[in-house]
Amino acid sequence: MLGRILKDARTEYGITQKGLGDMFHLSGSMISEVEQGRRRIPKDIKPRLARELDDPALYLTLAREATGGIGAPWLDRIDGHRVCCVMKFREEVIEALEMLEQVMPVLLRPEGREQVTTGELDTIKTTMVEIIEVVTASQNTVARLAKGYGFNLAQLWDEHQEKLIRSGYLDKKNKPSKAASK
């Protein structure tokens, strides 16, 4: 899957296999083998590659690969039109909010897990799945809007991270170095 997405991004930006290889001190044949699924991109190149191509499908695919499949996948079999994405995101948010309303009384109780019934655990799990669906829909929506309107997705996330640091939600020392990824 990564190979196909890399090829799609490379060709969309009019970059040859050799040209992409040259950008990262790799051979064109290495890029060809990656695109065909026979080789892997070196780990140290992946962050630079993602930022250089700034391709939403590539970002999401690399993130899932790095975490062993945890995180939002690039939804390649949906109607990617911005309105369809926004409407799906809205639908998923509403479903998650409805589940949160159901589970909130359980979450507000002072007892711990040992006092939660099997049915309540099922409701908590269903709520978590709904939230995961919101994450998937939101990341795909943001990715498609960024691409469609010419926003740099990495820059948007960098700005968001700076806001989290300023708000006190994130410790600055935990911020990854952009220099390391360039």
Residue 72 lies in a domain: no
If asked whether residues 88 and 176 sit together in one domain, one would say: yes
- Residue 71 in any domain: the answer is no
d(CA 86, CA 102): 25
Pairwise CA distance, residues 51 & 178, whole Å = 10
| In a domain? residue 22 | yes
What CATH number does residue 41 fall under?
1.10.260.40
Residue 34's pLDDT is what?
Answer: 96
**Residue 92 has which token pair?**
């998923």
Question: How far from the centroid of its chain's Cα atoms is residue 176's Cα?
Answer: 17
Phi, psi of 129 (to 5 degrees): -65, -40
Domain boundaries, position 45:
2-66
In the listed set 66, 100, 120, which residue is the last one of a domain according to the structure?
Answer: 66
* pLDDT of 179: 43
For the chain of 182 residues, list the mean pLDDT of each consecutive stretch of 10. 94 95 95 96 93 94 95 94 96 98 94 89 97 98 95 95 96 66 48
On whether both 46 and 86 belong to a single domain, the answer is no
Helix (H) or strand (E) holding 61: helix 56-66
Q: Find, among 24, 83, 15, 76, the residue nearest to 48 by Cα.
A: 24
pLDDT of residue 178: 56
Do 10 and 45 sit in the same domain of this protein? yes
Question: How many separate domains does the chain show?
Answer: 2
25 with 99, same domain: the answer is no
Look at residue 138 in the predicted model and tell me its pLDDT.
Answer: 97
